[in-house]
Chain A
Amino acid sequence: MGRLLKYLRGYIKECIFGPLFKLLEACFELTVPIIMANVIDIGIAGGDGGYIMKMSGLLVLMGVLGLCSALTAQYFAAKAAFGFGTALRTDMFKKINSLSMSQQDSIGAASLITRVTGDINRAESGVNMFLRLFLRSPFIVIGALIAAFAVDVRCALIFVAAVPVLALIIFVIMRASVPFYKKAQHSLDRVSKITRENLSGVRVIRAFAQQKNEVEDFEAANDELTDINVKVGGISALMNPLTYVVVNLAIIAVVWQGGLRVWSGNMQQGEVVALVNYLTQILIALIALAQLVVTLTKALASGTRISAVLRLESDMEDGTEAEFDNNAPVLEFDNVSFCYSGSSEAALENISFRLNKGQSIGIIGGTGSGKSTLVNLITRFYDVTEGTVRVCGKDVRACSLDALRSKIGYVPQKASLVTGTIRDNLRWRSEAASDEELVSALKCAQAYDFIFDKDGLDTEVMQGGKNFSGGQRQRLTVARALVGSPEILILDDSSSALDLLTEAKLGRAIKNSNPDMTRFIVSQRISAIRDADIIIVLDDGAAAGMGTHAELLKTCEVYREICETQIPEELGAE
């Protein structure tokens, strides 16, 4: 939590003056009952009209002063809060982009997104509320207590008894209702989950005519949510009535005690009125406080989630090596094993191969066999557990990430684009790429036609690229990787949404585009990798076979099995 305070450092002035002006406002407000008491005890009792007018002028003056200090306080609070939120957001975004993949995995992308957006918004308004309102209530309560002591010590003792009781009521009710709020949130999540499921499964549900059962499931969750809401509503509905009763009991005690004191000549009538007014002010302040506590509890919870991310230090160290050996193999895996953190089973075991300039390698295997993990080690999204990955003779862990990644054109499994134009999306590898370069990459990636049916390079891309089909997105991400002639091209199962015809054309075009480019092709389909110089068949993280298509057909049983399902005609012909 303390970690977050440093984001307020630039706003120390605002953080001090904000509450200070709030305090001033409270002081002005607290003088009102005393002025009124004087009106009654001096003005009315003495029949002094001029005094009354003077005092009423004073009341208006107090109002004006209160307004001015409140406005100043609000401005300082808002300024500090938004300065805080903005700096925090920038740092948080930077931090997330610096964390290693395994650190991101452990928190989860969805959660990271909420922390940058929703959580920071809540923390921001928490700071604002705190500076602006939270301190006001204690000021009023303490101020009213002090004022009460100034009026009459004996009566003030009643205040001393009432305030803790009020605080206790508020505390107990909050304490009792907070777990319910969590439960309600949980229940609401369930309602939303069932709805989502119902929408994504609409075809299956209707195919099996299960609409009635689905409605029943939903109603059960909905009933539960309603129950919790009604229950917690019943508990928090106690707050106002209970505090009202306690304040009125205190008023009864004050009037009675006041009566005794006035009788004995120690107090005046107007002072009794002032004390009653102070009690009312305490009541109002405490109710406002209670409403705030909910907001602040949420802000604190958000703060904890934010600082949990900021506390992390990236566990991937950047190397310094930027010089590569052009005579060494372009890509070399030397007895590499890898295990994801938190998993006891190795995702890859003892993988070794070498790839020279212009060669291609095909990786085939089922889901979970470790294909994408291989890719992750080349681009250094993760570090090997054992062995070494070398690019142009250098251990990737020693290379500077920038230098390493500038050698690589990477096409991820999940084809998505960012908001902007096609041109923005294609210039990721090289900001200065000319339109000619972009067009030739598009042509090679078989994406030229459908882009130029639209607005060419200026075609707008919507969030995630959802205005393109899956196959079109895949081809665009291939084009993105080809810009700036990378030395190594990695295709991570990136033609799965393409039909066989287009896939074949794409494969040929990539091969012909640059004879020096080393290609690393991951696929589920024999057709995509059969022409590679080396094929590795992965099965459960281990190489079940390695060689060319023809060799593997003879030596590798797993490979034969795959071929049997995908290209049986050809096997039969042999």
Chain B
Amino acid sequence: MRSKEKTLNKATVSRIVDLIRPYRVTFIIAQVMVVISVALTLYAPVIIGRAIDMIISAGRVDFVALVPQLIKLGIVAAITALAQWLMNVCNNRIAYGAVKDVREQAFAKLQELPLRYIDSNSYGDIISRITTDADQLSDGLIMGFSQLFTGVATILGTLIFMFSVNIIISAAVVVITPLSFFVARFISSHTYVMFRQQAEIRSEITALTEEIIGNQKPVRAFGYENEAQSRFDKINKKLQRVGLRAVFFSSLTNPSTRFVNNLVYAAVGTVGAFAVMGRFGTGLALTVGQLSCLLTYANQYTKPFNEISGVVTELQNAFASARHLFDLIDEPPQTADSIDARVLTDADGRVDIDNVSFSYVPDVPLIENFNLSVQPGQRIAVVGPTGCGKTTFINLLMRFYDVTGGEIRVSGTPVEEITGDSLRRSFGMVLQDTWLKSATIRDNIAYGKPNATDEEVVAAAKAAHAHSFIKRLPEGYNTVISEGGENISQGQKQLLCIARVMLCLPPMLILDEATSSIDTRTEIRIQRAFEKMMEGRTSFIVAHRLSTIRNADLILVMRDGHIIEQGTHEELLEKNGFYAELCSSSHGI
């Protein structure tokens, strides 16, 4: 388990290194700045120490030598500050740049992921990879760069400086300091479990809150408030107990490491004082200024140890986040177009489905031995109860999913030999789920053809019977559709989706009739627009309305994912099967 974790981490680190590679010049500059700023930060106490040694007692102050030391200190401080700033700026650029790149990679990946992946993963999860995880990664990188590297450099530098000043004191420091590091690690490894528990309880509370607030109407109507409150209080109490424990124990880190620092400080002070008095022999003797310098080091030396333990936790989180992102990027893409794939530009509307089988889950066959031959201009109605697999049929036609057996041919060419984009562009699709971009109405209508002229857009809107309502909107064609599209009605959205297809009007159509939620007038308009579109085009209609069904050249009756009957309205009624039952139940024909 442990070693697997390690190899995973290793792989992640090398991927992160790859991400940073394009920024190597900036990275080198940043590291040079780290060396400069650390070296100078360490040099400053030496200067201060020397300055203090020039101030001995009343009447014994060497002002002539003091001035150049102070000037030197000023210059050193200025350069340190500049180097620090440049280092931070470089680190920011690298981290944000690398994260920007990885975000782009992830988003580009979304464009080629198979629908199977997108349908079976929650949107929230994918979105949080591109937003939260990417953020966590940039935070981790910045912290890693600015604190880990400076930390390590500071520890090394301090050791060198200290040993050059006094060996005994340095040895004392080296022995004691790692203590603080271990204390911090000990605490954080023990609180980790508590924080995980806290996170779990918090998501429990969020889930309950979402449920109750999202369902206020039934909650009120059924008087469920009290029950909800008592469920809430129970989780809340648990959160209080666990959260208090987690936060208290984790807050022990700072005081504990500070305590170790104080021990180090006391040790340096004591040993140092005896060294100043010459108790360790002249070879190890110190001046007061040197002691003051060592005391500053003692503080500086322990600080990075404390920071590093914080950075390690942060980096672990960042690695976990990076792994989420890389997992997404590494998902196998949908089947790529074969090299000699044809660009379909002149589909005549012929579709042949030859012995096709399909299943979402291996071993659970859904569609088997499906045969269908559609001539140009024919209308195919797909009917059946909810959840019978009508969308599966659309998924296969549009090649959102690949068939598991058999072959679908469009204009005589097997779909595998056609580029995915050109195949899909040969279908005009109006789904019940009316997706619109949060952009202007104009941009939405021209979605399939961004360079369309205003005239073309208006013509398409008119053909879709959408022009009249668009005109009445305060901003007309420039009305921005809000996220979720609350500013126009469901029916109007459907009209816009139709207009969007009208503008391109491909030779084949896939239409999904709405079951509900559309007012009568709009519905009549949609009917008319559908009629107009279907003229002379091969159309597949997921149908709910008897009139549509009766006018179809062929009716496919689906149930539980299977195509159980096919034929014309009359043929199917005669058969007196499932279709006949469907018809009689709805309208008593």
Is there an interface contact between A525 and B516, defined as CB atoms closer than 8 Å? yes
List A residues 269-314 near B (Cβ within 8 Å).
Answer: 269-270, 272-273, 276-277, 280
Q: Is A137 on the interface with B (CB-CB < 8 A)? A: no
Distance of A376 Cα from B220 Cα, bound (Å): 11
Q: Is B81 on the interface with A (CB-CB < 8 A)? A: yes
Is there an interface contact between B66 and A117, defined as CB atoms closer than 8 Å? no
Distance of A198 Cα from B130 Cα, bound (Å): 12
Q: Is B490 on the interface with A (CB-CB < 8 A)? A: yes
Is there an interface contact between A233 and B123, defined as CB atoms closer than 8 Å? no
Q: Is A199 on the interface with B (CB-CB < 8 A)? A: yes
Chain B residues within an 8 Å CB radius of A477: 218
Question: Are A263 and B58 also in contact (CB < 8 A) when A196-B123, A210-B448 are?
Answer: yes
Residue of B at shortest CB range from A46?
B277
**Segment of A92-100, A339-347, A355-363 engaged in the interface with chain B:** A92-100
Is there an interface contact between B223 and A402, defined as CB atoms closer than 8 Å? yes
Is there an interface contact between B218 and A273, defined as CB atoms closer than 8 Å? no
Residue of B at shortest CB range from A525?
B516
Is there an interface contact between B219 and A97, defined as CB atoms closer than 8 Å? yes
Q: Is A164 on the interface with B (CB-CB < 8 A)? A: no
Is there an interface contact between B207 and A67, defined as CB atoms closer than 8 Å? no
Chain B residues within an 8 Å CB radius of A238: 85
Q: Is B24 on the interface with A (CB-CB < 8 A)? A: no
Q: Is A121 on the interface with B (CB-CB < 8 A)? A: yes
**Segment of A47-55, A141-149, A386-394 engaged in the interface with chain B:** A47-55
Cβ-neighbour of A66 out of B217, B228, B258, B438 (below 8 A): B258
Cβ-neighbour of A367 out of B59, B425, B518 (below 8 A): B518
Question: Are A410 and B217 also in contact (CB < 8 A) when A241-B84, A255-B52, A264-B58 are?
Answer: yes
Question: Are A568 and B546 also in contact (CB < 8 A) when A244-B84, A561-B521 are?
Answer: yes
Min CB distance, B243 to chain A, in Å? 5
Is there an interface contact between B216 and A101, defined as CB atoms closer than 8 Å? yes
**How many residues from A make CB contacts under 8 Å with B?**
166
Is there an interface contact between B516 and A67, defined as CB atoms closer than 8 Å? no
Q: Is A369 on the interface with B (CB-CB < 8 A)? A: yes
Is there an interface contact between A226 and B517, defined as CB atoms closer than 8 Å? no
User: Of A49, A419, A500, which is in contact with the most chain B CB atoms at under 10 Å from its CB?
Assistant: A500
* Interface majority SS (helix, strand, loop, mixed), chain A: helix
Distance of A264 Cα from B57 Cα, bound (Å): 9
Is there an interface contact between B111 and A428, defined as CB atoms closer than 8 Å? no
Q: Is B316 on the interface with A (CB-CB < 8 A)? A: no
Min CB distance, A272 to chain B, in Å? 6
Chain B residues within an 8 Å CB radius of A416: 211, 214-215
Q: Is A56 on the interface with B (CB-CB < 8 A)? A: yes
Chain B residues within an 8 Å CB radius of A260: 61
Distance of A39 Cα from B255 Cα, bound (Å): 25
Cβ-neighbour of B85 out of A53, A207, A237, A379 (below 8 A): A237
Q: Is B381 on the interface with A (CB-CB < 8 A)? A: no
Q: Is A62 on the interface with B (CB-CB < 8 A)? A: yes
* Interface majority SS (helix, strand, loop, mixed), chain B: helix
Cβ-neighbour of A208 out of B135, B213, B279, B425 (below 8 A): B425
List B residues 260-306 near A (Cβ within 8 Å).
Answer: 262-263, 265-267, 269-270, 273-274, 276-277, 279, 288, 291-292, 295-296, 299
Question: Are A47 and B266 also in contact (CB < 8 A) when A201-B437, A262-B55 are?
Answer: no
Residue of B at shortest CB range from A431?
B227
Cβ-neighbour of A40 out of B239, B255, B288 (below 8 A): B288
Chain A residues within an 8 Å CB radius of B82: 241
Is there an interface contact between B55 and A258, defined as CB atoms closer than 8 Å? yes
Is there an interface contact between B236 and A90, defined as CB atoms closer than 8 Å? yes
Distance of A96 Cα from B59 Cα, bound (Å): 75
List B residues 68-114 near A (Cβ within 8 Å).
Answer: 70, 73-74, 76-78, 80-82, 84-85, 88-89, 92-93, 96-97, 99-100, 103-104, 107-108, 110-112
Is there an interface contact between B545 and A565, defined as CB atoms closer than 8 Å? yes
Is there an interface contact between B244 and A79, defined as CB atoms closer than 8 Å? yes
Q: Is A381 on the interface with B (CB-CB < 8 A)? A: yes
Is there an interface contact between A117 and B202, defined as CB atoms closer than 8 Å? yes
Question: Are A244 and B81 also in contact (CB < 8 A) when A71-B255, A191-B131, A256-B66 are?
Answer: yes
Cβ-neighbour of A252 out of B70, B227, B254, B587 (below 8 A): B70
Q: Is B359 on the interface with A (CB-CB < 8 A)? A: no
Residue of A at shortest CB range from B243?
A82
Chain B residues within an 8 Å CB radius of A201: 435, 437
Is there an interface contact between B259 and A67, defined as CB atoms closer than 8 Å? yes
Chain A residues within an 8 Å CB radius of B274: 49, 52
Cβ-neighbour of B232 out of A53, A93, A402 (below 8 A): A93
List B residues 311-348 near A (Cβ within 8 Å).
Answer: none
Distance of A203 Cα from B398 Cα, bound (Å): 9
List A residues 176-212 near B (Cβ within 8 Å).
Answer: 188, 191-193, 195-211
Min CB distance, B360 to chain A, in Å? 15
Chain A residues within an 8 Å CB radius of B267: 56
Q: Is A83 on the interface with B (CB-CB < 8 A)? A: yes
List A residues 109-131 near B (Cβ within 8 Å).
Answer: 109, 112-113, 116-117, 121, 124-125, 128
Question: Are A203 and B400 also in contact (CB < 8 A) when A223-B100, A252-B74, A569-B589 are?
Answer: yes
**Segment of B11-19, B366-374, B455-463, B578-586 engaged in the interface with chain A:** B578-586
Is there an interface contact between B437 and A408, defined as CB atoms closer than 8 Å? no
Q: Is A265 on the interface with B (CB-CB < 8 A)? A: yes
Q: Is A524 on the interface with B (CB-CB < 8 A)? A: yes
Is there an interface contact between B111 and A215, defined as CB atoms closer than 8 Å? yes
Distance of A196 Cα from B122 Cα, bound (Å): 10
Given contacts A117-B209, A200-B435, A241-B85, 17 further A-B contacts (CB under 8 A): A36-B295, A43-B273, A82-B240, A89-B236, A192-B131, A206-B400, A207-B424, A207-B427, A209-B424, A237-B92, A251-B48, A263-B61, A265-B58, A366-B519, A379-B220, A401-B223, A497-B515
> Could you jot down 14 A-B contacts, CB within 8 Å?
A82-B240, A104-B213, A188-B131, A191-B103, A195-B130, A196-B123, A197-B483, A199-B123, A201-B437, A249-B77, A272-B55, A401-B223, A524-B518, A566-B545
